């Protein structure tokens, strides 16, 4: 493998621009709403209210754009598996700024392919909006030194073929994939199929 394989969604300047345009309506609501309320409810000068409204617009965009753009992902090259994970809003904001200014970012975890003994494919329940229960795919990297590194490829939906590309790549490196729940075939279908299958597994426990 001479190319780099991305599992998940790697943010770029283009993604940031697209998100900015997509959510500009919310920014305008925040800015115009704040300026209008201050004009109506306070004795502040109109120019000051407009200035505060402009600030509110950019603050709103600084909140929604990183949350919509930055997500965890895996990057696999011929030597390493690099895991980029962002815990919390401020890490997402920092990554957004780094991308805009062109600063290089580094993975939070890096695993040498030669150090991997095997990989266990599993899943983990998560809480979703409106008290709904969902599931995320979990990869357990068992290393030759007996340590285990859990990785969750992405918090966003992943194209189904991406998983299979990863598994085939690793198997070509003589790294076994342990799939005790038989998830692999369902990962070739669609997100709804894998969710329904996992729900059936949960009911049999």
Q: What are the pLDDT digits (tens) for 81-96?
A: 999 988 889 999 999 9
Least confident range of 29-43, 72-86, 88-102: 29-43
Q: Which of 44-48, 124-128, 170-174 has the highest mean pLDDT?
A: 170-174
Sign of the dihedral through C-alpha 166, 171, 176, 178: positive
- Calculate mean pLDDT across residues 14-35: 88
pLDDT at 114 over 80: yes
Span 146-163, average pLDDT: 72
Q: Can you give the pLDDT at residue 125?
A: 80
Cα separation, 96 vs 174, in Å, equals: 37
- Has residue 116 got a pLDDT over 70? yes
Q: Got the DSSP string for 33-94?
A: HHHHHHHHHS---HHHHHHHHHHHHHHHHHHHHHHHH---EEEE-SSEEEEE---SHHHHHH
User: Quick check: helix, strand or coil at residue 154?
Assistant: coil
- Going by pLDDT thresholds of 50, 70 and 90, the confidence category of residue 161 is low
- pLDDT score at 123: 87
């Amino acid at each position: 493998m001479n190319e780099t394989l991305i599992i998940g969604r790697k943010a770029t300047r283009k993604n940031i621009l697209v998100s900015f345009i997509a959510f500009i309506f919310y920014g305008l609501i925040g800015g115009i709403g704040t300026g209008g309320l201050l004009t109506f409810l306070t004795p502040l000068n109109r120019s000051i209210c407009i200035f505060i409204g402009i600030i509110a617009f950019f603050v709103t965009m600084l909140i929604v754009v990183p949350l919509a753009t930055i997500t965890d992902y895996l990057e696999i090259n011929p030597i390493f598996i690099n895991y980029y994970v962002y815990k919390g809003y401020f890490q997402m904001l920092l990554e957004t700024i780094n991308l805009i200014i062109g600063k290089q970012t580094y993975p939070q975890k890096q695993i040498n392919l030669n150090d991997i003994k095997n990989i266990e494919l599993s899943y983990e329940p998560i809480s979703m909006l409106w008290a709904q229960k969902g599931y995320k795919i979990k990869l357990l990297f068992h290393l030759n030194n007996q340590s285990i590194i859990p990785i969750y490829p992405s918090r966003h939906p992943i194209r189904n073929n991406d998983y299979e590309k990863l598994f085939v790549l690793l198997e070509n490196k003589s790294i076994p994939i342990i799939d005790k729940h038989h998830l692999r075939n369902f990962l070739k279908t669609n997100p709804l199929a894998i969710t329904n299958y996992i729900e059936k597994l949960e009911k049999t426990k």
